[in-house]
Structure 1
Amino acid sequence: MSSVPQTPPWDVHRLPRADGKNFLVTGGNAGIGYFVAEQLAATGATVVLGSRDPAKAGAAIASIASRVPGAELGHLPLDLADPASLRTTVDALGLDRLDAVVHNAGVALDRPPRRETAAGHELMFATNHLGHFSLTHHLAPLLMATPGSRIVTTGSFAAKSERLDLDDLQSTRDYRPKRAYARSKLAQMLFALELDRRLRAAGSATLSVLVHPGGALDSLTPSRPPIHVRTARERLGHLPLGLVVQGKDAAAWPAVRAVLDPGVRGGRMLSPRAFGLRGTPRTEPLWNHLTDTTTAAILWAASSDLTGHEPTFTAATRPGGAEGTTALTVPGL
């Protein structure tokens, strides 16, 4: 008989304790990010909500505190569309360790015209992808100071049917809002996987994990006033959709598992169990176009050029014992 202990199945309703750990959730003031923050706060960790709007962050913090007695919460002013502000933003964290960052914040536009940031980048590509690329660069020292830290990146089911146009990453020639959004999320997903390859090549213990939340509707999401209020009529009217998709509270489960589960590995994708749209989180095989390492490497180089940053992780020692700095670059790229 084997005496090897069996790992219990992951239970979304019985999360492991994470007392003493620090987690940052971008976009933690609303939507899926709010529920990621709420669920992580219940583990005893300190959870920092990254948000542009102090009032919305304050409302989210008050809501979580009312449901999680003794929750340790904070707000980090964060504007992912303004990469020049991110160094100052990260300096303001005031932490000596960061156990995980959840790259969750995003913007989705559903109609023209095309919008640009002050830096001249298309708004969705800049916020959803380039902002998180730069943020990873600035968070690298904190993450490297924390054994077993994790970078969790939230993709989207919308990216499954899209491909990047490497000659027009910012949709300057043919702008279609829904397609531009899906491509920005695909860029995030390719970034997460390329980051994992570079972390492993550098011998880093930091993990890069990809998640996507499946299908999530406000009408299936429990109320969290004043952040989100669902009427009984809305809930009943959309109840049949619950057979196919889910609320944003359940859509948060893949990211929460990616942060907390000791069995999670870098370079994997967690998604809802039922067709990638609803249910408890599981490891899903990577979609074929997510395994395109050439496109991912070209995107990485373009992102570095556009932001002026390249995530670099400094280890106390290199593999083999020599001290120094290990950059996330793969020989031959």
Structure 2
Amino acid sequence: MTIVLGAIMRTALVTGGNAGIGYFIAEHLAAAGLEVVLGSRSAARGRAAAGAIRARVPGARVACVPLDLADLSSLTTSVAAVPADHLDVVVLNAGVLLADPIRRETAAGHELTFATNHLGHFALVALLWPRLAKARIVTQGSFTARSATLDLGDLQSTRSYDPKRAYERSKLAQLLFAFELARRLEAAGSGAAGLAVHPGGALDALTPSRPPVHVRTTAQALRAVPAGLVLQGKHAGARPAVHAALDPSVRNGQLWGPRFFGLRGRPRLERAKGPLADAETAARLWAASAELTGVDPGFVTAPA
């Protein structure tokens, strides 16, 4: 589904572009002719992903920057390392899903899943803003966000912690941020666009090999055949984000996901409903996120 662009070089930053769905988003964007910057917590994994993209995409221009979204104090340094005066696309893709039932905190005292998946991206957009005047800012959510509820009085899961629920809430927070950003951009008459996507059901076992980033054995592929009737690989899960980033028909505030039951297939436009359509909660989350991170994209005017 790669959309090939014209001769003008454009630049994209993909957080978590060193692995999983983020890697395939980066590979697709490189194949479309963009210069791609991989934001990666691990320098070694970033270099490996860049090498894998160059092996697949002749002439690909790929750079890596250190990016640890859980460490808010490091983000200014990460932003300074991005080798571009302006960005045309930012894909907020990086995330963690923890299995440990013990609640963990960042150095700043924030619950780790919420801090990495949402707060880090919120702060990153604020710090990058001078370079995003006409950018498409694509936020990667999750199908699981539809069934989540956000407790504004306990965003850090201090009263009750479950790793799966913390992940679902963090992905809902990301999507609410995307829609609130879109509303504020529209109110400000900005040339930038806030977009939301989700990958559906994406499994490693259905994902083609990209050594050394990902290696799938024949046995794994065969065992995954039945799941392929309903789900898809991470290479396919990347398609909604790539579509939102590149397709000229995409508009500010849209939500894109897989075509078939929201789980697999080519991208389709979806309607935000249920908790995703709660504009009041989104505005309150924005204010809470600004307080927790100490930065605020306040230059994006809020609706009256």
Which bracket does the TM-score occupy, shorter chain normalised?
A: over 0.9
Matches within 5 A, 1:40-119: 40-119=29-108
Q: Is the 8 A contact 1:271 1:282 kept in 2?
A: yes
Cross-structure match for 1:202: 188
- SS of equivalent to 1:71: coil
Offset at residue 288 of structure 1 (A): 1.9
Of structures 1 and 2, the larger Rg is shown by 1
Q: Is the 8 A contact 2:13 2:36 kept in 1?
A: yes
Report the AA paired with residue 77 of structure 2: T
Normalised TM-score (structure 2)? 0.98
Q: Is the 8 A contact 1:80 1:127 kept in 2?
A: yes
Distance 1:207 1:280 in 2: 22
Report the AA paired with residue 219 of structure 2: R
Distance 2:296 2:91 in 1: 19
1:166 aligned to 2:138?
no
What is the count of residue pairs matched by the alignment?
304
Distance 2:11 2:2 in 1: 21
Report the AA paired with residue 94 of structure 1: P
Distance 1:138 1:47 in 2: 19
Distance 1:183 1:254 in 2: 21
Distance 2:229 2:6 in 1: 31
Match of 2:237 among 251, 260, 263: 251
- SS of equivalent to 2:164: helix
Deviation sequence 1:27-55 (CA, Å, 0-9, x none): 00000000000010011210000001010
Distance 2:128 2:89 in 1: 10
Distance 2:200 2:183 in 1: 25
Cross-structure match for 2:23: 34
Offset at residue 331 of structure 1 (A): 4.8
- SS of equivalent to 1:266: coil
Matches within 5 A, 1:214-253: 214-253=200-239
1:330 aligned to 2:302?
yes
Offset at residue 94 of structure 1 (A): 3.1
- SS of equivalent to 2:232: coil
Distance 1:21 1:13 in 2: 15
Normalised TM-score (structure 1)? 0.89
1:154 aligned to 2:143?
no
Q: Is the 8 A contact 2:2 2:31 kept in 1?
A: no
Cross-structure match for 1:4: none
Gaps of 5+ in 2: none
Q: Is the 8 A contact 2:2 2:28 kept in 1?
A: no
Distance 1:18 1:151 in 2: 22
Distance 1:38 1:287 in 2: 31
Report the AA paired with residue 130 of structure 1: L
Cross-structure match for 1:309: 295
Report the AA paired with residue 88 of structure 1: T
Q: Is the 8 A contact 1:19 1:43 kept in 2?
A: no
Cα distance change on mapping 1:331 and 1:233 into 2, 3 Å: closer
Q: Is the 8 A contact 1:35 1:252 kept in 2?
A: yes
Distance 1:80 1:138 in 2: 12
Report the AA paired with residue 330 of structure 1: A
Distance 2:114 2:260 in 1: 29
Offset at residue 18 of structure 1 (A): 6.7
Cα distance change on mapping 1:78 and 1:18 into 2, 3 Å: farther
Offset at residue 158 of structure 1 (A): 1.0
Q: CA RMSD in A?
A: 1.1
